[in-house]
Structure 1
Amino acid sequence: MKRTILGAVTALSTILALPASAETGLVVAGSEAVDSLLDRMAIRFEEILSETGGDAFDVNLIRGQSLGSAQQVMEQHQAGSVDVMYSRPDWFTSNVADFQVMSWGFTFRDRDHMQNFLNSDIFAGMNQQVVDQMGVRVLAAGVDQPRILYTRMPVNSIDDIQDMRMRVPGIRAYLQMWETVGAVPTQIAWAEAFLALQSGVVDGAEADASGAYSQRFHVAAPNITLTNHVMSAAHISVNEATWESLSAEDQAILQDAAAQAVAWMSTQAQSESQGVLDTMVAEGATVSDIDNEPFAERAGEAVPAMEAEGLWSEGLWQRIRDL
């Protein structure tokens, strides 16, 4: 018995004598294709955190779709098994309806308009809803590339998309917006979109240039139309319980790394967009402009009905338009 007690005391003394580690393990994940712009943003975030955080963080970056779809990763993010997520604010819509407005076509005039919104009290209030309802905190958000069309057949006017089967993500605003302008929205997972285009399950899809190129949309649907219907945004967020477990100093390091990585992404998004389109053309695609006004008119006319249905808060769309 004495030997057992002494052994336990010795073991405890050894443990207590070991230096305490301040290192915090962070699982960082998303569902973006490897080498896409958001994937590279995540790599940049990891690099900045390593440079500025020293030994404060031990980052486990999980790239690609190893953990599932964006919605599945978001669920893991809420649960806390994914500490930090790199994604788009669209995926908050399942819990916070106001984010649907960001997926509604032609809400934002241009990049500057969206960045003003992301810096506004309106967006800050929406972010607080995410904290309260989802247990997730946005660390930084920035403007990505605009979303454009990729179709099997050319699109020269709004008439050409009538009854077109359009691949869209499982986000209500996307579904209803494309229905509003006359297409037939079809929910298909991002990872399956190329095969759906190639096989003719859908006639078209929409995405930003870098994301579409990473999925080879232009090979299956070589007609690219510059609708610029949605100004995309990207963000880096942290699980709220993880955030609250950090010291004020580590919180500042994490937030600064996220802000730098998102700013890098936004700059890259603007500089890369035309280069990606040029590469698609070199690989056989065609790029065309289009008169967006008929699309924008239909989208705007439908806003009162969308707000009456509770798609987002009444008056939110107009408050954003007035920025």
Structure 2
Amino acid sequence: MKKKWLALFSTAFLSVSVLAACGGSDGATTENADNTGVSEEAVTLKLAENQPEDYPTTLGAKEFARLVEEKTEGRYKIEVYAGGQLGDEKSVIEQLQLGTIDLTRVNAIPLSEFSSDIGVVAMPYLFEDEDEKWEILNGEIGQDLLGTFEGSRLVGLSFYDSGVRSFYNTKRPVTTPDDLAGLQIRVQQSDLAIDIINSLGASATPMEYGEVYSALQTGVIDGAENNFPSYFTSNHYEVAKYFTVNGYQGVPEVLLGSEKLWNELSAEDQEVFREAALESVAVQREAWANLVDEAQKAVLENGSELVEIDDITPWREAVQPVYDKYGEQFSEWIDRINSY
């Protein structure tokens, strides 16, 4: 959870002509640095990102692009299309599988359709803390988990930070699972999400995200759960001032490549792309940390009460029924994480 904020910049290369290349990419001929006039093909790749230009995942993708260009000495240039220019997550995944887009970043949850194993990252209180989480995700276990997309025409490159989800409500400070008893808590329409909330003693209420503010305001629900920046940007802090910082779930984002692109890369370039993806994580995570700090400062200034949880043992014990129900399908990964 210790993160570093780095300045991002990109290096431009002189394009002379555009040629057809691999995947959804374009080839451009560039002169060698020694100005001998001998030219070589530089390949321009497309990376789809549905968040704005200054969002942490976009900044991570731009750093990945910069590193790839640097490490390949300009043979590959990645253009990041932010703000959903190339489509929503579902359509982008489909385009990635077809090879009409080369790279993208999406949340791990929709990817469970293509890798049943990836769903393990949605289990509650899976990691001891954020330090352990990122050591695991950036290490051998994480790389093995990214390898489970085989056969889906997708290639997992690295995980990006999407924060941790916690609870907030309109009624009272919540310090233990017992304090959630009787509260109606909004969740996403997911069996796992519903079971987690119910196991903690609250009543799960599936609801569209856009309806949450008015539902909190009118008392239709008592609370919800999300990460800190979303609590702020949705303005939910205006009507639900009690925020319990217990990070019960932290589903990461995934940086992906298309199988079509991957098969056209040399083994050496595949290694370069993986290295660049992993190295870009530090920039992306620091950008996320900065966003969290800004959101926390803003909501505190507006009267929110943050309830810090030092011991999550009672919370872990409360969600044991969730592990009893879903744990078997993820047993290999849970055992490896617990043995780390």
Tell me if 1:300 matches 2:294. no
Match of residue 99 from structure 2? 80
Match of 1:150 in 2: 168
Matches for 1:113-124 after TM superposition, within 5 Å: 113-124=132-143
Deviation sequence 1:57-92 (CA, Å, 0-9, x none): 343322234555544443443343432122333332
User: Partner residue of 1:226?
Assistant: 245
Q: What is the CA–CA distance in structure 2 between the aligned matches of 1:285 and 1:34, rounded to whole Å? A: 29
Map 1:202-281 onto structure 2 (within 5 A).
Answer: 203-270=222-289, 273-281=292-300
> What is the CA–CA distance in structure 2 between the aligned matches of 1:131 and 1:201, rounded to whole Å?
44
TM-aligned CA distance change 1:41 to 1:94, over 3 Å: same
Q: Is the 8 Å Cα contact of residues 222 and 285 (structure 1) preserved in structure 2?
A: yes
Q: Are 1:37 and 2:17 matched, yes or no? A: no
Amino acid at match of 2:339: D
Deviates more, 1:278-287 or 1:44-53: 44-53
**Higher helix proportion:** 1
Q: What is the one-letter code of the residue matched to 1:140?
A: S
Contact 2:165 2:250 in 1 (8 A): yes
Q: Percent identity?
A: 20
Count of paired positions: 302
Cα 1:61–1:192 shift into 2, 3 Å: farther
Local SS of the residue matching 2:331: coil
Q: Which position in structure 2 is the counterpart of 1:289?
A: 308
Cα distance in 2 for partners of 1:286, 1:85 equals: 37
Judge conservation of contact 1:111–1:143 (CA < 8 Å) in 2.
no
Is the Cα–Cα contact under 8 Å of residues 136 and 337 in structure 2 kept in the other structure? yes
Is residue 36–residue 214 contact of structure 1 (8 Å, CA) maintained in 2?
no
What is the CA-CA distance between 1:272 and the residue it aligns to? 5.4
Q: Deviations over 1:282-323 (max 9, x none)?
A: 234321224644332121243122235xxx333542332222
Residues 120 and 79 (structure 1), Cα distance of their counterparts in 2 relative to 1, 3 Å cut: same
Task: Name the CA distance, whole Å, in 1 between partners of 2:264 and 2:72.
Answer: 16
Q: Secondary structure at the match of 2:166?
A: strand
Kindly provide the amino acid, as one letter, of the partner of residue 129 in structure 2. Answer: D
Aligned to 1:205, what secondary structure does the other structure show? strand
- 3-state secondary structure, aligned to 2:244: strand
SS in 1 for 2:196: helix
* Residue in 1 that maps onto 2:159: 141
Q: Report the Cα offset of residue 36 of structure 1.
A: 3.1
8 Å contact from structure 2 (residues 146, 157) kept in 1: no
Is 1:174 paired with 2:183?
Answer: no
Q: Is the 2:213–2:235 Cα contact (8 Å) retained in structure 1?
A: yes
* CA apart distance, 1:129: 1.7
SS at match of 1:314: helix
Amino acid in structure 2 at the alignment position of 1:188: E
Measured after TM superposition, the shift of residue 106 of structure 1 is 0.9
- 1:196 Cα deviation (Å)? 6.4
User: Structure 1 unaligned runs (5+)?
Assistant: 1-14
Assess, with a 3 A threshold, how the Cα gap between structure 1 residues 51 and 106 changes in structure 2: closer, same or farther: same
Match of 1:130 among 119, 127, 149: 149
Distance across 1 between alignment mates of 2:320 and 2:261: 40
Query: Shift of the alpha carbon at 1:228?
Result: 1.3
Specify which of 308, 317, 322 is matched with residue 334 of structure 2.
317
Which letter maps to 2:157?
L
Partner of residue 46 from structure 1, selected from 65, 85, 94: 65
The 3 A distance-change label for structure 1 pair 79 and 206 is farther
- Measure the CA separation in 2 of the matches of 1:54 and 1:94: 36
Conserved 8 A contact 1:143-1:233: yes
- Report deviation, 1:238: 0.9
Whether the 8 Å contact between 1:225 and 1:287 is mirrored in structure 2 is yes
- Aligned pairs for 1:6-45 (under 5 A) are 22-32=41-51, 35-45=54-64
Alpha-carbon offset, residue 110 of structure 1: 0.4
| Structure 2: segments with no counterpart, 5+ residues | 1-18, 20-27, 30-38
Structure-2 change in CA distance of 1:241 and 1:160 (3 Å): same
Q: Give the alignment's Cα RMSD to 1 decimal.
A: 3.5
Given residue 287 of structure 1, which amino acid in structure 2 is its aligned partner? L
Using the size of structure 1 for normalisation, the TM-score is 0.76
Structure 1 pair 199/264, CA: closer, same or farther in 2 (3 Å)? farther
Q: Secondary structure at the match of 2:197?
A: helix
Instruction: Give 1:135 deviation, angstroms.
Output: 1.8
CA contact (8 A) 1:22 1:55 kept: no
Give the stretch that moved more between structures: 242-251 or 201-210. Answer: 201-210
